[in-house]
């Protein structure tokens, strides 16, 4: 349970959805917040060598990210870089009445998401990928999985 007494959503599985002409993409029903007015933060996430995706953070994860960045030393030049990058390369979105979010035009363009998207659960958050980029990332993940799972033993 989270601090508010509600059960946190588990973002698991993988979904492939179309993106309409207004850049709206369907969010799986089991990933939708109970209250439709909960804002999700979309961040252009540049960590993959195959190109950026959109990382989607629910409010509690966005608050944690902000706290983690604030905890960095003011002498660390990465602190202001992270604040500036995330501040300028993110946006808040809300689900519409049928469970879609609208991808902001510039973020969608930079993540190369146009007519189709892959939504990938990361347990406490999720990502939205261009299908071709995700295919490359998935292949790379498969190669690294055995090593990564050794951390779980």
Residue bearing tokens 């983690």: 68
Say if strands 126-129 and 14-18 run parallel, antiparallel, or are unpaired: unpaired
Domains plus CATH for the chain? 14-152 (3.40.1550.20)
Which DSSP category does 28 fall into? P
Q: What is the mean pLDDT of residues 102-125?
A: 97
- Single pTM value for the model: 0.89
Contacts of 71 (CB under 8 A, 6+ apart): none
Sequence-ordered list of residues with C-beta below 8 angstroms from that of 64, at least 6 positions apart, any chain: none
Query: Residue 103 pLDDT > 50, yes or no?
Result: yes
Residue 5 has pLDDT above 50, yes or no: no
Please name which of 99, 96, 108 lies closest in space to residue 42, comparing C-alpha atoms.
Answer: 108
- pLDDT higher than 50, residue 1: no
């Amino acid at each position: 349970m989270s601090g508010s007494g509600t059960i946190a959503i588990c973002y698991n599985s993988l979904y492939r959805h179309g993106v309409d002409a207004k850049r709206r993409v369907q969010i799986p029903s089991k990933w939708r917040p109970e209250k439709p007015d909960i804002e999700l933060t979309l961040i252009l996430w540049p960590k993959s060598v195959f190109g950026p995706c959109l990382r989607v953070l629910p409010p509690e994860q966005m608050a944690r990210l902000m706290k983690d960045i604030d905890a960095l030393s003011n002498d660390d030049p990465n602190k202001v870089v992270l604040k500036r990058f995330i501040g300028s390369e993110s946006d808040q979105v809300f689900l519409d009445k049928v469970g879609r979010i609208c991808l902001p035009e510039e973020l969608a363009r930079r993540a190369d998401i146009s007519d189709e998207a892959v939504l990938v659960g990361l347990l406490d958050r999720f990502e939205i990928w261009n299908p071709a980029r995700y295919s490359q990332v998935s292949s790379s993940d498969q190669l690294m999985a055995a090593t990564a799972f050794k951390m779980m033993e």
